[in-house]
Homo-oligomer: A and B are copies of this chain.
């Protein structure tokens, strides 16, 4: 495989941008110093931050109506890892990859770990798939998987999750993420309680197989692919699952899986308070699980989520250790560009949350000075922390401006020449 973005390209691009960055960083440093914030401390925290890339994210997504492939789409997990390595090379913010089974299944797991190691990547949480049927599968998931009314189907789904754990163990992963499409499209189709009891029973079997140092993350979602009810519809049910399963079970929050108008940052706070926040699938949305690029639609909401996270970190909330992953569908952009931009958006929100004056904020909260409390958050959010992010990337060997640098490097054209054009148009499912 080898190096796909030449270090010389990065260096040349950085060289052009360096003087402006230095000036901006210095000006921002002065400004932050006036507020009592040490820019270097922030930079170090930002530099240490990483968000995982889902292996499926580097392919072009689509909708039930259609998929419009892009050039040079990855053919298999090795191509995907290569694309992920490019993202990491330029952003230095994405050190790990989250695999999806069976999409990323290979015969030789040693080859997989070797490749990742060569590319400087680690493996994040394993993702199981019981929302699709695979060719030749014994039992269909058309009417559910872990909550299916038929025990053979449930057992097949359990076995699949156990296989994901086994693969993950070989790869050095320490977490399993379980998202199911189980639910119903008609009132009456499912018995809510019996379905959930079956789900819990299946999850207990999976949990029993979980290694001691692993965690299991369950994910809730209000709708899609089921359109009347879902078995794990919201954080309330998700919390009950984590509580029923035990101390290694935690709740995953995908930013697009909630009802309209729901206050997501408050859900984050509740899960932190009760010791069950497992982590995030970051993306952005306006209507449903739109899976748009993180921060593209409502960047302040993303900041408010990170405000909770930094608050929990700062006060040392018990058991606080959330996993961070992007989970997006890139339908109209180059996935590598979207993932780089999104990783930087997550970092940006983190940096902005780090410069919130928490002492002042707490005082305004105690005094019920709503306006100044709000302004305290807004001041941090309004701060353009891009120089901090850019400096962190530069120091780590990445690009000051990842997207222009990536374009300059011509990576997409190179892989398009190597990888056959995808003809999978998908969709037509209206």
Contact = CB atoms under 8 A, between A and B. Distances in A.
A189 B332 contact: yes
A96 interface: no
A267 B240 CA distance: 12
For the complex formed by this chain, how many copies does it contain in all?
A: 4
A370 B131 contact: no
A337 interface: yes
Nearest to A301: B298
Interface string A201-218: 000000000000000000
B65 A338 contact: no
A430 B143 contact: no
B287 A222 contact: yes
A233 interface: yes
B365 A227 contact: no
Given A27-B27, A56-B430, A337-B371, A225 B189 contact: no
A408 interface: no
Nearest to A348: B382
A18 to B, nearest CB: 13
A367 B149 CA distance: 8
Interface of A: 20, 23-24, 27, 30-31, 34, 56, 61-68, 103, 131-135, 140-143, 149, 181, 184-194, 196-197, 222-225, 227-229, 233-237, 239-240, 258-263, 265-267, 269-270, 272-274, 285-288, 290-293, 295-301, 304, 307-308, 311, 329, 331-334, 337-338, 341, 361-362, 364-368, 370-378, 381-384, 386, 403, 423, 425-430
6 A-B pairs with least C-beta separation: A236-B236, A68-B142, A259-B259, A192-B269, A227-B290, A27-B27
Nearest to A192: B269
A425 B290 contact: no
B228 A292 contact: yes
Task: Give the residue among A188, A304, A374 with the most B Cβ atoms within 10 A.
Answer: A188
Contacts of A141: 66, 68
A197 to B, nearest CB: 8
Given A368-B332, A384-B384, A223 B286 contact: yes
A177 to B, nearest CB: 13
A229 B292 CA distance: 12
A184 B338 contact: no
A66 B133 CA distance: 8
A371 to B, nearest CB: 5
A143 B365 CA distance: 10
